Structure 1
Amino acid sequence: MYLTPKQAIPGPARLTLAVSSFVFVVGVWWLLAVLVQNASPDLGPLFVPSPYQVVLTWWDMMVNLAFYNDV
């Protein structure tokens, strides 16, 4: 079969692939958020919030609203 692994992926390459794939996904998310917010400033943040806004909202929920008690 063509899909069977021939050899193990080295550790540094595995780490690089893992980090770069995470950065790629967050980068595409951020780009889409910017494009949608520029196209529709009123509805953009509601439908596609930026990763930064999601982290800020999560932190606010954890610190100020005691969200961790509900989880």
Structure 2
Amino acid sequence: MKRTIAKEEEILEYLTQLMREGESSREALRAAELIGKTYALFDKGKADGAEQELTVRMDYGDNDNSESEPGV
């Protein structure tokens, strides 16, 4: 069986799945970091010069003890 190299879209889909459904928060955070690097979200010298905000939310399922943020 011949294997092909993963395309960019496949890699980003995999990382997104890990970020959303990862086995551990460390795994999810690492996937989010790699996605951010792909889109140069952390580069201080961006060409447009505008600051951007990145929000990463972890959903661990239904948890009655969780605190919710106002307006979220």
TM-score by length of 2: 0.35
Higher helix share: 1
Larger relative contact order (Cα-Cα within 8 Å, sequence gap ≥ 6): 2
TM-score by length of 1: 0.36
